[in-house]
Amino acid sequence: MDIIFHHPTFETQSWLDGMQKQLPEARVRQWHPGDDQPADYALVWHPPVEMLSGRQALKGVFALGAGVDSILSKLQAHPDMLPNGVPLFRLEDTGMALQMQEYAVSQVLHWFRRFDDYQALKQQAKWLPLEDYRREDFTIGVLGAGVLGGKVAQSLAAWGFPVRCWSRSHKNYPGITSFAGHEQLGDFLNGTRVLINLLPNTPQTVGIINHQLLNQLANDAYVMNLARGVHLVENDLLAALESGKVKGAMLDVFAKEPLPVDSPLWKHPRIAITPHLAAVTRPQEAMEYIAKTIRQIENGESPSGQVSLHNGY
**Mean pLDDT for the chain?**
96
Rounded to 5 degrees, φ, ψ at 250 are -125, 115
276 tagged catalytic = yes
Rounded to an integer, the average pLDDT of 106-132 is 98
Higher pLDDT, 93 or 83: 83
Report the pLDDT value the prediction gives residue 110, as an integer from 0 to 100: 98
pLDDT tens digits for 4-49? 999 999 999 999 999 999 999 999 999 999 999 999 999 999 999 9
Concerning whether 228 is annotated as a catalytic residue, the answer is yes
Per-residue model confidence (pLDDT) at position 312: 85
pLDDT tens digits, one per residue of 207-228: 999 999 999 999 999 999 999 9
User: Of 32, 228, 270, 310, which one is the catalytic site residue?
Assistant: 228
pLDDT of residue 293: 97
Q: What is the mean pLDDT of residues 293-305?
A: 96
Residue 311 has pLDDT above 90, yes or no: no
**Residue 28 contacts residue 14 (beta carbons within 8 Å):** no
Residues near 161 by Cβ (< 8 Å), separated by ≥ 6? 108, 112, 135, 138, 139, 140
Check residue 307 and give its pLDDT.
94
Does the structure show a pLDDT above 80 at 154? Answer: yes
pLDDT at 69: 87
| Ordered structural domains, the chain, with CATH | 2-94+281-299 (3.40.50.720), 96-273 (3.40.50.720)
Predicted model pTM? 0.92
DSSP 3-state of 287: helix
Interhelix angle 12-22/283-298, nearest 10 degrees: 40
Q: Which of 164, 276, 282, 295 is catalytic?
A: 276
DSSP string of 218-285, one letter each residue: PTTEEEEE-S-GGGB-HHHHHHHHHHTSEEEEEES--SSSSPPTT-TTTT-TTEEE--S-SS---HHH
Closest residue by Cα to residue 219 from 205, 201, 240: 240
pLDDT computed for residue 67 by the predictor = 80
